[in-house]
């Protein structure tokens, strides 16, 4: 997709990979709608290569409930029908064994990562279909494929995202609207550090990937421009992805070595 003049909505831009994606997109001649949960806490993008964006506009996108999403989309006004690229990046992480996980955390994670993503996409899609162009970019995860202990809730939501993206790819064939699944691995973000803290009593996070999110953002923008439909993980996560494609025993052995209940 040629990004020149396109309107791009990215959710969860205040930190982590979302902030890196917004910063990278700000180097392109786009209208960037930077989605944040709270407008008064907006962190402007930091384009390392210089700003070329036609406009950077913070918008409230709160995925915490059905009502919050409806209110957020209503607040977009006419911008809703102008969105050419939707990057569903916002999300939550809940880690630890399932028997230790708070019930409220389960529902909040499912809402933010899966239900909220589907709800927002459902509201953005009609405008894209009417104009016969658009791209839905969904933040999946290596956890959707490599089912390691301690990630039951998070992995389940990301597996749902992966499935939904694949279904959408087929549903949208020949409409002019395409999809892109981001199989994201380990990046040096607050979320990954939170994951490390929550799993530290069961595993050694010193062996995890803590890659530069800016490099992943570069790859994401390139994938959008080349209209790819799937972006494979980099770094050590690539090995986990390969293991997930093999017999279950491979991950069983790896899990026993890396996880101590």
Residue entry with tokens 């994670």:
109
Contacts of 39 (CB under 8 A, 6+ apart): 58, 59, 60
Q: Are 150 and 97 in contact (CB under 8 A)?
A: yes
Cβ–Cβ contacts within 10 Å for residue 60, how many?
17
Q: Where are the alpha helices (DSSP H) in the chain?
A: 16-25, 66-76, 103-110, 116-131, 152-171, 190-199, 213-225, 237-245, 248-258
Specify the length of the chain in residues.
261
Decide if 184 contacts 233 (C-beta within 8 A): yes
Distance from C-alpha of 214 to C-alpha of 195, rounded to nearest angstrom: 20
Residue whose C-alpha is closest to residue 92's, from 165, 143, 21, 24: 143
187 belongs to the catalytic site: no
**From the candidates 107, 145, 154, 187, which is the catalytic residue?**
154
Positions marked active-site: 154
């Amino acid at each position: 997709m040629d990004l020149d003049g396109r309107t791009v909505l990215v959710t969860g831009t205040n930190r982590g990979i979302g902030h890196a994606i917004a910063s990278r997109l700000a180097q392109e001649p786009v209208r960037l709608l930077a989605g944040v949960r709270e407008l008064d806490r907006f962190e402007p993008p930091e384009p390392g290569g210089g700003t070329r964006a036609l406009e950077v506009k913070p918008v409230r996108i709160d995925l915490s409930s059905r009502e919050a999403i409806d209110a957020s989309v209503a607040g977009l006004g006419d911008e809703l029908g102008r969105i050419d690229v939707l990057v569903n990046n916002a999300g939550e992480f809940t880690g630890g064994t399932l028997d230790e996980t708070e019930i409220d955390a389960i529902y909040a994670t499912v809402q933010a990562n899966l239900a909220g993503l589907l709800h927002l996409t459902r509201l953005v899609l009609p405008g894209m279909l009417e104009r016969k162009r658009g791209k839905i970019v969904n933040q999946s995860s290596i956890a959707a494929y490599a089912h390691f202990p301690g990630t039951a809730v998070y992995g389940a939501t990301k597996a749902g995202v992966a499935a939904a993206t694949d279904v959408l790819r087929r549903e949208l064939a020949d409409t002019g609207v395409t999809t892109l699944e981001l199989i994201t691995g380990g990046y040096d973000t607050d979320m990954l550090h939170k994951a490390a803290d929550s799993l530290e009593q069961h595993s050694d996070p010193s062996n995890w990937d803590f890659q530069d999110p800016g490099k992943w953002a570069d790859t994401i923008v390139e994938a959008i421009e080349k209209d790819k439909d799937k972006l494979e993980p980099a770094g050590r996560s690539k090995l986990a992805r390969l293991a997930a494609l093999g017999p279950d025993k491979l991950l069983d052995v790896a899990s026993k070595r890396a996880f101590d209940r």
